[in-house]
Structure 1
Amino acid sequence: MHTGSAAPPARPVRAVLLVLALLAALLAAAVPAAGPAHAAVPDRWGFAYLDNPTPPPGYVPDPSRQWGSWPSPGTNPVRVDQLGTGSYVVHFPLIAGPGGVAHVTAVNRSGTWCQAAGWTAAGSGIDVGVSCYRPGGAPDDSQFTVLYTASSGAPLPPGAGYAYLDSTPGGTLLDQYNSSGGSNLSSHGSTGIWKAWLPGVGGAGYLGNVEVTAVDPGQGARCKVTEWGPSSSGQTLVVNCFDASGALFDTEWTLSYSVRRAVHGPAIPPKNFGYLWYNGSVPAATNFNSAGGTNTLAVGIPSTATLPSLAVPADHAQVTAFGSGAGYCQLALPWARSSGSVQLYPICFTPGGGPTTAPFFTAYTSAF
């Protein structure tokens, strides 16, 4: 990924993946192949919030909403370059390495959404491409949050869990991590529909948080969780992806699942993180606050999620839509901090970009 190119390039995909993608339709009912398993959680990560949708070259986004695992992140900041309308590259310093996953959430009330365009090691750092599109599919400038994280550590102790995967359109995994030591799976069904299996994490009831992001360097794409099947042996999640018209669409996508862990994987530190899932109600086990407070949700357009005793910059938030159909969700505004509490403002849209109320996942974390 090079600053000044017309658009951030896709990450390399080996020829064998193309073959597997062609076979995916025939093998949809079969058990899919596992991705490469990895054995500290995480060992490389960074997050940022682009507060200026038309940044000058080398722009340093909001310092209170960026941090990472590299030395002296407070004095060695994330930088962003805009490559064209709605096209950005986010430079995370000093965390180069293979694999990992990226998540992106748009921050606006207009219905413009943002997605990952790919990521790659760039010198000693990681560059994450971000593309944003208005309803209808034309590129558009927007504020957004972006997160990159990679893990290769040993299994976590009981009571906590973390897993992620990066799936090709055909269901082959480009990378994956599971804190139980198991191997995640992804299988492709019909166009735009996948089933993810995360063994050994979570439990038999709804527990934890899920975030999903489309990855496509060529056109607008949106992904969401449409079904969640928890069990004592692991989590089954159905992911649907759509193009700008709202039609089901095959694209690369990432998924992260966390139980009593921050959205990027670690815990203690950070000591300040939380999440909740709204699905007409807020199930207790999907409503977590690491400080022991009670998170609350006022449903509206936008909704307001209040997470008490957690607001410590530098901090970060993500949102993912849940449920059937091609609607999508994001943040209407950057999160606010007040008297130690943080307020998140999730907002959802119909496939055509009209504001609506709909189910969503949202997660917040401090770096500390």
Structure 2
Amino acid sequence: MHARTVAPSFRPVRAVLLVLAMVAGLMAAALPAAGPAHAAVPDRWGFAFLDNPTPPAGYVPDLTRQWGSWPSPAANPVKVDQLGVGAYVVHFPLIAGPGGIAHATAVGRTGNWCQIKGWSTAGTGQDVAVNCYQPSGAPSNTLFTVLYTTSSGTPSPAGGSYGYTYSAVSGAVLAQYNSAGAVNTVSHGSTGIWKAWLPGLGVSTAAGNIEVTAVNGIQGARCKVADWVPGASGQTVVVACFNAANAPYDTTWTLSYSLKRAVHGPAFPPKSFGYLWFNGGVPANTNFNSVGAVNTLAGSAPFTVTLPGVAVPSDTAHATAYGTGPGWCGLAMPWARTSGTVQLYTLCFNPGGTPVAAPFLTAYTSAF
């Protein structure tokens, strides 16, 4: 595999040093004990790509980049309404119910980012509200990908690991799932820092994918993976969140972890998915392709992640920044599909909103 080594270009600032100290302190704390829980593949899920930043009422976004677990998704499409500048609600039909998590990723080159405002049952469907912002923090009309998923029941025999957590500011877990049947926990450190513990998932070396999204209905917030410590007994993930002024900020957030599973939880099917973590190199077990091909990485700002053999519409992609500073990542443009190969264009930004080469995690999945 070709792993391009690119040093992060974030400049040290006071906020970064504070976060580094917070991470060090939090990682030294004792890990919470595991306990019993439910486990399995998704009960209900949906994803979409908003391809029009100023959609008319009841807009149906790109049909080749949306799908879900409800009956006849092609005949019952996702719809989007715009509520105001940079404010949207995505209507997933026929998957009403409590729990679950949502993720959103901005798509574009301007440095805009998106967060989840919240999600709730709406009649027979599930509504997910997404808010997007300029680097300054002002609301801004933005393209984005969004997914909602919820899991319960018994483990899938297909293998791999999957878990998610929806955390309150305090660290109280508002929703969680763990395919090992354990209970995920979160502890809050200093402002804008949390440690998530996912017992029983993964392996002792870095393997799999992590996605993190801020959830906030009051102001703009960005969250990322600040550190990841794999272990034979589970995965420890430090989450760092910032406001638009690049200061550490307390907000709610969602995190999902997947090993040999798609970003929304299932494994085989879908038969076509993959992920990659770039942290200056590409750890072997964080570079996965479900058809056994080798993903490659090229470029820098944006990076081009090429996943051979898995490009099957309908599909989606997400990206999360990695590191302690207040920079963030998204997708520079919609992913491209050519002869079965998909290319993701992951683009990261420094605290001023300028494109930079920086660490990230990215994931792609087809519905099939």
Aligned counterparts of 1:167 and 1:198: Cα–Cα separation in 2:
13
Deviation at 1:141, TM superposition (A): 0.3
TM-score (norm 2): 0.90
Q: Name the aligned partner's letter for residue 361 of structure 1.
A: L
Give the Cα separation in 1 of the matches to 2:122 and 2:196. 30
Paired residues of 2:32 and 2:197 also in contact (CA < 8 A): no
Tell me which amino acid in the other structure corresponds to 1:181.
G
TM-score (norm 1): 0.90
Could you tell me how far apart the structure 1 residues matched to 2:76 and 2:35 are?
Answer: 34
Q: Report deviation, 1:155.
A: 2.6
Kept after mapping to 2: 8 A contact 1:35/1:176: no
User: Is 1:303 aligned with 2:300?
Assistant: no
Q: 1:277 is matched with which residue?
A: 277
Contact in 2 for aligned 1:64/1:314 (Cα 8 Å): yes
Determine helix, strand or coil for the equivalent of 2:285.
Answer: helix
Residue 137 of structure 1 aligns to a residue in which SS?
Answer: coil
Q: 194-203 or 294-303: which moved more? A: 294-303
Q: Is the 8 Å Cα contact of residues 33 and 172 (structure 1) preserved in structure 2?
A: no
- Give the match's secondary structure for 1:345: strand
**Rounded Cα–Cα distance in structure 2 between residues aligned with 1:31 and 1:210:** 19
SS at match of 1:268: coil
After superposition, the Cα gap between the structure-2 partners of 1:160 and 1:135, relative to the gap in structure 1 and judged at 3 Å, is same
Q: Which residue of 1 aligns with 2:167?
A: 167
User: Which secondary structure state, in structure 1, belongs to the residue aligned with residue 42 of structure 2?
Assistant: coil
Query: What residue in structure 2 maps to residue 313 of structure 1?
Result: 313
Instruction: Give the match for residue 256 of structure 2.
Output: 256
Is the contact between residue 159 and residue 267 of structure 2 (CA under 8 Å) also seen in structure 1? Answer: no
Aligned to 2:118: 118
In the alignment, structure 1 residue 128 sits paired with structure 2 residue 131:
no
- Aligned partner of 2:65 in structure 1 is 65
| Aligned match of 2:103 | 103
**Which 5+ residue runs of structure 1 have no aligned equivalent?**
1-27
Q: Secondary structure of 2:64's partner?
A: helix
Q: How many positions carry a matched residue from both structures?
A: 341
Render the CA deviation track for 1:224-258: whole Å, top value 9, x for unaligned: 00111001000000000000011000000000000
Matched, 1:176 2:176: yes
Residue 281 of structure 2 aligns to a residue whose secondary structure is coil
- Flag the structure with more relative contact order, 1 or 2, with Cα contacts below 8 A and sequence separation at least 6: 2
Deviation at 1:36, TM superposition (A): 9.5
User: What's the CA shift string for 1:19-45, capped at 9, x where partnerless?
Assistant: xxxxxxxxx967769899434410100
Q: Residue deviations 1:334-359, cap 9 Å, x none?
A: 00000110000000000111110100
Match status 1:245 vs 2:245: yes
CA distance in 2, matches of 1:174, 1:361: 24
- The 3 A distance-change label for structure 1 pair 305 and 30 is closer
CA distance in 1, matches of 2:245, 2:147: 26
User: What is the letter of the counterpart of residue 117 of structure 1?
Assistant: K
Give distance in 2, aligned partners of 1:169 and 1:91: 27
Q: CA deviation at 1:183?
A: 0.3
Gaps of 5+ in 2: 1-27
